């Protein structure tokens, strides 16, 4: 479990937290703005004009790619590397980082630094996508400008030594573009054309639509799941329990719980897989013997936190439905 000195569950104590608001100059990054705006306009246009032309197997291929890339982000970069909520053998680590490249986001080490900084300085000016600055900023606006100076200042306190020592991450960082471009854009466009005779324009359109959809699914955790939903675990945090986000992110929307127990491999208290496919994936890998040392808090600890700091709500997020785990049924 990666918990840094002077922190509680990876988050600095209130005495060490920077202010929530601190005016600062953040120059716009026009290249990012243009790319983001054009990409979204093109994706919306293509969805409106090409989606009906897509063959059934092109839709299935896109969904498979969405899920695969999603597991790379959620089970890989997020729960394994960012929070060390479980351990993985080399074959699984390689698989997960390759699946992450399907998402086409950014270099793994950069993603991990941003996320660890977010957790350590949640909802302060040192949080790269501070939800106190509104929906648009936390969703995508933070990518359109330079980081707040506090992000760089306080981000130096974030321990990245384990990531720097990870040979898998180092390799993918070094050759990221050479790995990501073929996996994220070339392969998914070629397969539909040569396997089930999809047209080139429709196949390329499906890649763009899938890519933009996947990006916004990830972004929704930073925005929707920090603004709308209940807070049964800690009412003082902005992070919420959002089942809609969980559906689109295969289990990452139980965010109030996650910010209380970031080291739980389930990232939720749920006792079922329906809105947490990432947990099912990790459990399956544990059954295979590729994942091990799965961390999770005991029920009494969770109950005590809810009683002391929760907002009094329950809902889906506190569902403890005992169903057989993958390891019990295979």
Share of the chain above pLDDT 70, in %: 91
Cα–Cα distances in angstroms (integers) from residue 88 to residues 106, 291, 293, in the given order: 22, 4, 9
pLDDT of residue 8: 47
Distance (Å, whole) CA 116 – CA 211: 24
- What's the rounded mean pLDDT across residues 20-37? 92
pLDDT for 321 beyond 70: no
Count of Cβ atoms closer than 10 Å to residue 301 Cβ = 12
Q: Report the Cα 157 to chain-centroid distance in Å.
A: 22
pLDDT for 315 beyond 90: no
The pTM of this model reads 0.90
Angle at 257 between CA 95 and CA 64, to 5 degrees: 30
Could you tell me the pLDDT band of residue 18, with boundaries at 50, 70 and 90?
A: confident
Contact in structure between 108 and 173 (CB atoms under 8 Å) = yes
Could you tell me the pLDDT band of residue 243, with boundaries at 50, 70 and 90?
A: very high
pLDDT of residue 274: 82
Residue reference for tokens 């019990």: 328
Could you tell me the pLDDT band of residue 323, with boundaries at 50, 70 and 90?
A: very low
CB within 8 A of 284, min separation 6: which ones? 326, 330
Distance (Å, whole) CA 295 – CA 183: 31
């Amino acid at each position: 479990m990666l918990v840094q000195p002077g922190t509680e569950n990876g988050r600095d104590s209130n005495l060490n937290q920077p202010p929530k608001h601190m005016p600062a100059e953040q120059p716009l990054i026009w290249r990012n703005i243009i790319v983001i705006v054009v990409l979204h306009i093109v994706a919306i246009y293509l969805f409106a004009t090409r989606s009906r032309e897509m063959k059934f197997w092109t839709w299935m291929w896109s969904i498979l790619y969405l899920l695969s890339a999603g597991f790379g982000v959620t089970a890989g970069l997020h729960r394994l590397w960012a929070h060390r909520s479980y351990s993985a053998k080399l074959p699984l680590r390689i698989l997960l980082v390759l699946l992450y490249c399907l998402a086409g986001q950014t270099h793994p080490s950069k993603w991990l630094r941003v996320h660890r900084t977010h957790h350590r300085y949640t909802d302060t000016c040192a949080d790269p996508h501070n939800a106190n600055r509104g929906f648009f900023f936390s969703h995508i606006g933070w990518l359109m400008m330079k980081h707040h100076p506090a992000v760089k200042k306080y981000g130096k306190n974030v321990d990245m030594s384990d990531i720097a020592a990870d040979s898998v991450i180092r390799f993918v960082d070094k050759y990221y573009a050479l790995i990501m471009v073929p996996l994220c854009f070339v392969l998914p466009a070629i397969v539909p054309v040569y396997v089930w005779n999809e047209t080139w324009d429709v196949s390329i359109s499906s890649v763009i639509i899938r890519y933009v959809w996947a990006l916004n699914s990830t972004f929704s955790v930073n925005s929707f799941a920090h603004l709308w939903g209940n807070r049964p675990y800690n009412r003082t945090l902005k992070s919420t329990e959002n089942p809609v986000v969980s559906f689109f992110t295969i289990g990452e929307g139980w965010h109030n719980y996650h910010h209380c127990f970031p080291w739980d491999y389930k990232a939720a208290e749920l006792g079922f897989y329906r809105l947490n496919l990432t947990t099912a994936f990790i459990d399956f890998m544990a059954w295979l013997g590729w994942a091990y040392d799965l961390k999770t808090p005991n029920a009494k600890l969770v109950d005590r936190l809810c009683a002391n700091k929760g907002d009094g709500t329950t809902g889906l997020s506190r569902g403890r439905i005992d169903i057989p785990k993958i390891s019990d049924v295979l």
